[in-house]
């Protein structure tokens, strides 16, 4: 059984994608039919997460994942509905039916697998630390007694938790609503570094031209996937 989606590289190339029905213990899995009947797929995303999903100068939501989702919906014959969500409540948004999937640089973790039915990975990424260009930090050991910022409910938080020695060495971890707010605080010296996705960090530094850099030592590697409700096997898979 092929998975919902698979990509060999970062290029915007979609494979032929379709969905098929399946079953679950409590009866027929109608997740695919429900989306087709509604004529739309509601995609939950953080609209301040470039380059995966963000607002352009015209306030339109665009990005890598948005382009991929548009192609998938075109092949399904349904409309793509972009639904910005609070990333800290993403699983709740999914499981209460407010969205059909979480698709926005969503890192696959074993803890999240307990709540979410993931597609195959489609991008490889890593959690890194962004600092001001003038910082002397070169590795994780250089953050002893320092303040680190990150997005609440993100895989950056998971990466810090999975490095207990690093976390214990910090003065504190400061949570922000999104990465852009964290980077703004970094710029004014509120925090000493921001833990975030490598892809997002590179995009922000390249587009903003701000005096940031990424330290060489990564916290953890990771992979992105598309998240569905646990019972929605038909919507995730194809025969």
Spell out the domains of the chain, with CATH numbers in brackets. Answer: 22-124+223-236 (3.40.190.10), 125-222 (3.40.190.10)
Q: For 169-195, what is the mean pLDDT?
A: 97
3-state class (DSSP) for residue 5: coil
Tokens coding 85: 């969500």
pLDDT recorded at residue 28: 87
Q: How confident is the model at residue 24 (pLDDT cuts 50, 70, 90)?
A: very low
Residue with tokens 């940031």: 212
Rounded Cα distance, 64 and 90, in Å:
19
**Tokens in use for 163?**
């490095």
- Of residues 107, 111, 20, 110, the one with CA closest to residue 65: 107
DSSP state string for 40-92 = EEEEEE-TEETTTEEE-TTS-EE-HHHHHHHHHHHHHT-EEEEEE--GGGHHH
Please check the confidence at residue 162 and state whether its pLDDT lies above 90: yes
**What mean pLDDT comes out for the span 217-228?**
95
The CA–CA distances, whole Å, from 205 to 149, 159, 236 equal 17, 21, 34
The pTM is what? Answer: 0.77
Residue 124 has pLDDT above 70, yes or no: yes
Site of tokens 């409700």 = 229
pLDDT of residue 2: 39
* Alpha carbon separation from 8 to 5, 151, 195, 203, 234 (Å, rounded): 10, 28, 27, 21, 23
- Specify the length of the chain in residues: 239
Compute the average pLDDT of residues 66-94. Answer: 95
What pLDDT was estimated at residue 23? Answer: 37
In Å, how far from its chain's centre is CA 46?
8
Partners of 196 in beta bridges: 128
Confidence check: pLDDT of 58 > 50: yes
51: cis peptide before it, omega within 30°? yes
Query: Residue 1: which pLDDT band, with cuts at 50, 70 and 90?
Result: very low
């Amino acid at each position: 059984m092929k998975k919902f989606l698979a990509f060999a590289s970062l290029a915007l190339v979609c494979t032929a994608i379709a969905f098929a029905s399946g079953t679950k213990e409590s009866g027929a899995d109608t997740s695919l039919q429900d989306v087709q009947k509604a004529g739309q797929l509601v995609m939950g995303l953080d609209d301040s997460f470039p380059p995966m999903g963000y607002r352009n100068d015209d306030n339109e939501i665009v990005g890598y994942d948005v382009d991929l989702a548009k192609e998938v919906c075109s092949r399904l014959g349904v409309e793509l509905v972009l639904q910005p969500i609070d990333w800290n409540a993403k699983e709740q948004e999914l499981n209460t039916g407010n969205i059909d999937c979480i698709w926005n640089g969503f890192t696959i973790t074993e803890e999240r697998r307990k709540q979410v039915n993931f597609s195959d990975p489609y991008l490889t990424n890593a959690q890194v630390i962004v600092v001001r260009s003038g910082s002397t930090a070169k590795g994780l050991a250089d953050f002893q007694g320092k303040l680190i910022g990150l997005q609440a409910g993100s895989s950056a938080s998971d990466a810090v938790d999975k490095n207990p020695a690093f976390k214990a060495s910090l003065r504190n971890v400061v949570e922000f609503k999104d990465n852009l707010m964290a980077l703004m605080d970094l710029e004014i010296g509120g925090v000493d570094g921001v833990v975030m996705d490598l892809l997002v960090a590179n995009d922000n530094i390249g587009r903003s031209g701000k005096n940031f850099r990424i330290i060489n030592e990564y916290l953890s590697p990771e992979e992105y996937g598309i998240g569905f409700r646990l019972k929605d096997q038909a919507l995730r898979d194809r025969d």
